[in-house]
Amino acid sequence: MSTKLFVGSLPWAVNDEALRAAFEAHGTVVSAKVITDRQTGRSRGFGFVEMENETQASSAIQALNGAELKGRNIIVSEAKPKN
């Protein structure tokens, strides 16, 4: 079963493709989405990455939480379910 990750503190320059590329080294990426503002279309500074399984998701969290991506240290954690 796939595992969804929250990715915060994203630089404005990161798009869906760049987000996917950053995580592909740690396993199969099912989806990668940078959340954008509906009015302006600009990044809101966070996104979600869905990894193929929990093992790959854990590997990505360990490797990328606090790591630098395009000049900013990103935050990676397991996504909390919507209420």
pTM of the predicted structure, to 2 decimals:
0.95
DSSP secondary structure string for all residues of 3-68: EEEEEES--TT--HHHHHHHHHTTS-EEEEEEEE-TTT--EEEEEEEEESSHHHHHHHHHHHTT-E
The whole-number pLDDT of residue 17 equals 98
CATH code of the domain covering residue 43: 3.30.70.330
The answer to whether residue 36 is domain-embedded is yes
The model's pLDDT over 49-82, given as tens digits with 9 standing for 90+, comes to 999 999 999 999 999 999 999 999 999 999 998 7
The answer to whether residue 83 is domain-embedded is no
Residue 61 domain boundaries: 3-77
Domains: count for the chain: 1
The answer to whether residue 82 is domain-embedded is no
The model's pLDDT over 22-40, given as tens digits with 9 standing for 90+, comes to 999 999 999 999 999 999 9
